[in-house]
Amino acid sequence: MDAIFYVLKQNTEQDEAELETHIPAHFNLAAHLAADQFRQGKRIFIYTNDKNDAHLIDEYLWLFEANSFVPHNLQGEGPVNGAPVEIGDSTPVGNRRILINLATKVPDFINRFNQVFDFVPSDSNLKQAARERYKYLRQMGVNISTQNIET
C-alpha cells in the first residue's frame, strides 16, 4: 500500500477562500484529487468523520462545472454498485482501491486499499491527528511520501 500525505501551508489567501466557500482547504484538495482519480478510471472512497462532513464534500462536488463533473454519491444512495466516487463515514461495500481520508483517524478497513491520500491541514489540532495517522501507517509498513501544497 502507498500513501501520500499532502502538507497544506497556511496563507491568507487560503483563509479567505475557506471563508468564501465554507470548504476547508483539505476538502477542496480532496475533491480535486477525486476528480483526477476518476478521470484515470479509478473508483474512489472518500472517508469522513461523520455524516455532516460527508454531506459537505458531497455538496462541494456538485458545484464543479458541468465539463468537470465527478459522478459521486453518499453511502447508501445512487446506483447499485455506487458511483465511481463514494462518500461516507463507515466501511464501504463496493470494491474500491483508492481511499481519500478526510477523517481524523485511520479507518479499520484501510487494508482493502492500494492507495491512500491523506492531508496535514494547517490547523494545529488537525495537524496533530495527521501525525498520529502518519505514525500508524508507518508502523503498518505502508510506503509513505509527503507533498507540500501551497493553496
Q: Give pLDDT, residue 20.
A: 55
Q: CB–CB of 109/136 below 8 Å?
A: no
For every residue of the chain, DSSP letters joined together read -EEEEEEEEP-HHHHHHHHHH---HHHHHHHHHHHHHHHTT--EEEE-SSHHHHHHHHHHHHTS-GGG---EEETT-SSTT--SEEEESS---S---EEEE-SSS--TTGGG-SEEEEEE-SSHHHHHHHHHHHHHHHHHT-EEEEEEEE-
pTM score, whole prediction: 0.91
- Least-confidence region, from 15-24, 52-61, 100-109: 15-24
Mean pLDDT of 116-136: 95
Domain that holds residue 143: 2-150
Tally of structural domains, the chain: 1
Task: State the CATH number of the domain containing residue 119.
Answer: 3.40.50.10110
Query: Which has the higher per-residue pLDDT, 81 or 34?
Result: 34
Mean pLDDT of 91-113: 94
Q: Check whether 145 has a pLDDT greater than 70.
A: yes
